[in-house]
Each structure stands twice: as structure tokens, then as C-alpha cells.
Copies of this chain bind each other. A is one copy, B any other.
Amino acid sequence: MEAKKANIFSPNSPGQNVNPDLDIERKNISFSIEHLTNILDGGANNTKLRREVEAVLEADPEFSQENRYFQSQNERYESAVRKTVYLFQKVAKMGWIEDGPEQHYCFKFLAEDLAFNLHVVFMKSILALGTDEQINKWIPLAKKIFIIGTYAQTELGHGSNLRGLETTATFDVATQEFILNTPTLSAMKWWPGDLGRTATHAVVFAQLYLKGRCYGMHPFIVQIRSLRDHSPSQGITLGDIGPKMGFENIDNGFLILKNVRVPRENLLAKFSQVLPDGQYKKQGSDKINYLTMIVVRVNILQSSIIPCLMKACTIAIRYSVVRRQSELKPGDPEVKILDYQTQQQKLFPQLATAYAFHFTCNYLLETFHRCYNQTQEGKFDLLPELHALAAGIKVIITDYCSAGVEVCRRACGGHGYSLLSGLPSIYMKVVPSCTYEGENTVLLLQTARFLIKCYGMAQMGQPLPSSVAYFSSVNFGKCQAQEEKDFLNPDIYTDAYKHRAFRLVFRRDAVPLVDAFDFSDACLNSALGSYDGHVYQRLYEWAKKSPTNHQDDRVFKTYLKPLFQNALSKL
């Protein structure tokens, strides 16, 4: 009965000492596993390279995942910083080229254990929105992590409606500086990763004010912490927003700006400039930025979200072959739970979906590249279709993957609740994708708007984008009204008013209906749901109490300071 003593965290050795029930499943199969894997990887060479990279990472004890499920938020953060800094050194040592496939496989393999996710977005936004001069100044420092950046867009009170952001940047002609301010509680930056405890710089989005007039949202580079001792810069208040569902490795943070001054050249100025006299100058088209946003979205689906469903299927299906429960006839051996129809009905659709989504994403990437090539010739016709397609597919994939992972998790019974099963962490990794990179309800409405516009074009006989060409051929059903005079029947209108009145009575009673549950604030223990509705104050007050905000500067001193020193002479 003594458990096996071998190092159970060591890489699998296929075929050696495998559970016999799994062995049987792998015999007499109808296709070549290796061939299918190659297709998924996009070719046998990719499979080979991916395995080589993974073998290097698995063999390196610095990347061990052994303790992940046991670590506190603070320990996960420290470990993520340590591993990320080490990974940069490892990549250089291995001679893997910048942005090459090896690095891609590294990030995919280690994602949950790494920090500096938003640092990558910081760099991408400078590359997309900065002038050549700005790119040349900031990118070399960022690439070597001599500085660490974050992307401070979302505020406590605004996420989906970016035009409603409240942070302000007012130009002071006298000093040639922008003065950044957080004018209200709900205007504080909230959620950016790497902001809570790490970043030295941020691309801060703020409403640009010139001579009293607002020019809308613009990006500014702001130094938020000292490179010398990591203390907040003058006028900056910041910290970690505290515990979340998943993503313990990331220090999502908050940021308050009080008369923070940055030089004029810190406005990322590829598409809009402020001249020394305070004049505003727009230049070029920022449409190309949509493409960047879309390809980021598709890459997240392909490399992070769909693999969550694949992993969950892998875990649940293998376990369902090993787990035996109940006999079908008395005296018979117990049955593999995968032999139950109920288990098959749960798991097989998830498995089919995982494969389908993988190839759907491939199609989306092809469409993206077709569109990108057109934009290089100055044509932007395909952009609305691509945007609608990417938005709709993002929703479908994130929704289904989240639901599918949870089906897989629950199909493992009690053991699916143990973190050691891996499944709770996968759910917590996949489900936030329904909210980030475009909230799903909002994105669906954008796709719907495109479809309705195309429907109108179809009705008017205009040519349609290829993905909705079927609109022209479908015979749309018309209202099946019996007779015209039905519309003169006052009862119909009375009923309609009754229905409307009933609905209005219902929208109005929702709060009292929940008040009637009579949960006290202490009982709810929720920063969002308290009786008085002081949502944002509570979020802030509570976050400040988090242990993540009461740590010493060990992480900075050990891992970051040696890097930042290299930037000191240059900034």
C-alpha cells in the first residue's frame, strides 16, 4: 500500500509503468497521435522545437512548479519575479533569438509562473503609438528590463467605456510639461498588472487638456517609482489591489496622480503632437492600431485560452479511464467512469470543441494576415469585418472554454476541487478572459452592430463582406400578421402597455427585492454590495489592508535593483 517513491514531478516517460487501463486505450487506435500533434503544432519541425524548449525548461530546477499550489499570493509574486528575471538570462544563454519561436514556447509553457506581463504591453504600446525617437529611447531599456513598464488604462470607475476615463493631463506652456491628475476617487488607475509592486514606468492614459479644451484620451509615459530605491515618484500614490480569483503571480495595482509633471516629449506622439506653444496637431491614421489589438486578442485565444480547455479535457479524460466506480451487474468489476454515458456526454463535446476552436483560430489568423497585407497597400476595407469576426469569435471561445473547463472539473467529482488536480487553477485562468480584452457582452453588441449594418446593406442590394455573404441569399421571414385590422385592435395596445407597466414595476423593485433578503454588510462582506453603495471607497480602503501592501523591499533589492541600476545613467 506504500505510495510510489519515485520523483512524481519528473517528466513523463511514455510507455513506462503506465496504468493498464490507460495502456489499453492507447492500443488499436484509428490514427497516428504523432501526426495529429504535428498538425496542431503547425508542422513536425515545430513539434520538435517545442519539445526541445520544454525539455530545457523542465530540466532546470529554477523553473520547478512543484510548490505552486501551496504558495501564498506573496510567495507566488516573488517566485514569478525571480523566474522571469532568470528566464531573460536563460534565453540569452541559450542563444534563442529575440521574439523567436523558442521564446514563444517559453512564455506559453511558463505563463502562470511569470511576472512582467504588462511590461510586454508597455513595450507594444510604445512601438505602436510612439515616434521613432521615443521608440529608440525607451525600447532598448525596456527590452533588457533595465526599466519595467505597465499599461495604466482601466480606472476604478471605467473599464469598457474608455472615453469616460477621468484622469487628466493639462499642458503647462511655461514649463513645457504635462500635469497629470486623478481628479476623483473613481479616476484612480485600478487593475494594471505589474503596477502594484513592480513597475518603474507606466503608459498612463489621460484626457488631454490644452488651453482649457479637452482633446480626448492620450498616452503619456510617466515614471512612477525611483530606479534607485523603488520609492513612489513625487505626487504618486500606488499599491497592490489585493487578492483576486487566480493570477496570484501578478501584482495588479492602483495609481493616484497628484500634480505629476512629465516633459512634453513624454506624450506618445506618433498620431498626435502637442507643439511647444500648446497647439494640437493630428497626423497619420491610427486605424492600424486596431490590427495590433486584434492580433493580441487572437494570440491570447490560441496560446492561452484554448489550451486551458485542452488541458482540462486531458486531465478529465485520463482520470475517467483510471477512476472506477460501481459495477453494472452485481459481482462484475467496477466500471471505468468514462464508460458511463453520462460521463461521455459531459466530456466528449468539450474535446470536440477544443479541436474545433484550434482550427477556428487558425482561420482567424489567416483572415488577419489577409487584412494586414491589404492595409500595407493602404486598403482598410476588410477591417470592419475582421473586427466583428474577432470580437464574436473571442466571445464564443472564451465563453465555451470557461464553461467547458468547469464541466471537465466537475466531471472529476470531489477530486476536481483539490488544487492538486490542476483544474481549479485552469478555471481561474480561463474565466477572466470573458471579461478582459473586451468584456463579452460589449463585444457581442459590437458584432451585432456589424451584422445589423450588413443586413441593411443586403436589403439595399449592396455587396457584402464574404463572411456574411449569405445575407443576400437568405429568404428572411416576414411578420406573420394575420390581417391589417389586427393592428387597429385596442386590446393589443392595452396588453402592450400592461406588459410595459409590469416590466417597469419589476427594473424599480430589484434593489428592494434584494434588500428584503436583509443581509447586513458584515454578512455580505463585499466591497461591491454593501447597503450604502460606497463601492469604490471600500475597494480602495480594503485593498490598502492587503498583506501585499505590507511587505519589505526584498524583491526589489534582490531581483530588480541590479537591473534598474543600468538605466540610471540613461534616464
- A interface residues with partner B (beta carbon < 8 Å): 1, 3-4, 8-14, 16-19, 21-22, 25-26, 28-31, 33, 36-37, 40-41, 47, 51, 54, 58, 65-70, 72, 109, 154, 157-161, 164, 182-185, 187, 191, 241-246, 256, 307, 310-311, 313-319, 321-326, 334, 338-339, 342, 344, 346-348, 351, 354-355, 410, 412-424, 431-432, 434-436, 439, 441, 445, 505-543, 545-547
Nearest B residue to A112 via CB reads B525
Partner of A19 from B412, B421, B533 at Cβ < 8 Å? B533
Question: CB distance B529 to A244 under 8 Å?
Answer: no
User: Beyond the given A318-B511, A319-B528, A323-B535, could you list 4 further A-B residue pairs with CB under 8 A, ordered by the A residue number?
Assistant: A17-B532, A242-B420, A245-B419, A311-B526
8 A-B pairs with C-beta separation under 8 A: A9-B521, A25-B510, A65-B525, A70-B545, A244-B417, A314-B517, A413-B439, A414-B435
CB-CB under 8 A from A538, the residues of chain B are 8, 420
In angstroms, Cα B304 to Cα A547, docked, is: 29
Nearest B residue to A342 via CB reads B441
Partner of A245 from B65, B187, B417, B524 at Cβ < 8 Å? B417
Nearest B residue to A344 via CB reads B507
In angstroms, Cα B539 to Cα A529, docked, is: 38
Nearest B residue to A532 via CB reads B18
In angstroms, Cα B33 to Cα A136, docked, is: 64
> Nearest chain B CB to A427's CB is how many angstroms away?
8
Question: CB distance A321 to B533 under 8 Å?
Answer: yes
Nearest B residue to A503 via CB reads B344
> Nearest chain B CB to A348's CB is how many angstroms away?
7
Question: CB distance B33 to A512 under 8 Å?
Answer: yes
Partner of A58 from B33, B69, B520, B529 at Cβ < 8 Å? B520
CB-CB under 8 A from A424, the residues of chain B are 244-245
Partner of A18 from B66, B246, B347, B531 at Cβ < 8 Å? B531
In angstroms, Cα B7 to Cα A20, docked, is: 61
Nearest B residue to A530 via CB reads B12
Question: CB distance B4 to A316 under 8 Å?
Answer: no
Question: CB distance B415 to A545 under 8 Å?
Answer: no
In angstroms, Cα B246 to Cα A466, docked, is: 48
In angstroms, Cα B68 to Cα A256, docked, is: 26
CB-CB under 8 A from A539, the residues of chain B are 415, 418, 420
Question: Could you tell me the dominant secondary structure of chain A's interface residues?
Answer: helix
Copies in the complex: 2
> Nearest chain B CB to A40's CB is how many angstroms away?
7
- Most central of A28, A164, A417 by chain B CB within 10 Å: A417
Question: CB distance B1 to A182 under 8 Å?
Answer: yes
CB-CB under 8 A from A242, the residues of chain B are 69-70, 418-420
Given contacts A513-B351, A518-B37, A529-B319, contact A414 B191 (CB under 8 A): yes
Question: CB distance A423 to B528 under 8 Å?
Answer: yes
Question: CB distance B418 to A527 under 8 Å?
Answer: yes
In angstroms, Cα B507 to Cα A346, docked, is: 12
In angstroms, Cα B317 to Cα A509, docked, is: 11
Question: CB distance B533 to A338 under 8 Å?
Answer: no
Given contacts A317-B514, A439-B413, A519-B311, contact A3 B537 (CB under 8 A): yes
In angstroms, Cα B47 to Cα A508, docked, is: 25
Question: CB distance A14 to B70 under 8 Å?
Answer: no
Question: CB distance A414 to B159 under 8 Å?
Answer: yes
Given contacts A69-B243, A325-B164, A413-B435, contact A19 B184 (CB under 8 A): no
Leading 8 A-B pairs by shortest Cβ distance: A315-B529, A19-B533, A422-B526, A12-B531, A25-B511, A245-B424, A36-B516, A314-B514
Nearest B residue to A339 via CB reads B507
CB-CB under 8 A from A161, the residues of chain B are 325-326, 334
In angstroms, Cα B261 to Cα A179, docked, is: 78
- Most central of A26, A31, A514 by chain B CB within 10 Å: A514
- Most central of A13, A185, A321, A520 by chain B CB within 10 Å: A520
Partner of A40 from B439, B517, B546, B547 at Cβ < 8 Å? B517
> Nearest chain B CB to A91's CB is how many angstroms away?
19
Question: CB distance B418 to A432 under 8 Å?
Answer: no
CB-CB under 8 A from A542, the residues of chain B are 8, 69, 420
In angstroms, Cα B121 to Cα A334, docked, is: 29
Question: CB distance A22 to B529 under 8 Å?
Answer: no
> Nearest chain B CB to A541's CB is how many angstroms away?
5
In angstroms, Cα B494 to Cα A36, docked, is: 30
Question: CB distance A1 to B183 under 8 Å?
Answer: yes
CB-CB under 8 A from A432, the residues of chain B are 417
Question: CB distance A522 to B69 under 8 Å?
Answer: no
In angstroms, Cα B522 to Cα A558, docked, is: 27
Question: CB distance A525 to B413 under 8 Å?
Answer: no
CB-CB under 8 A from A339, the residues of chain B are 507
Question: CB distance B65 to A507 under 8 Å?
Answer: no
> Nearest chain B CB to A242's CB is how many angstroms away?
6
In angstroms, Cα B35 to Cα A367, docked, is: 59
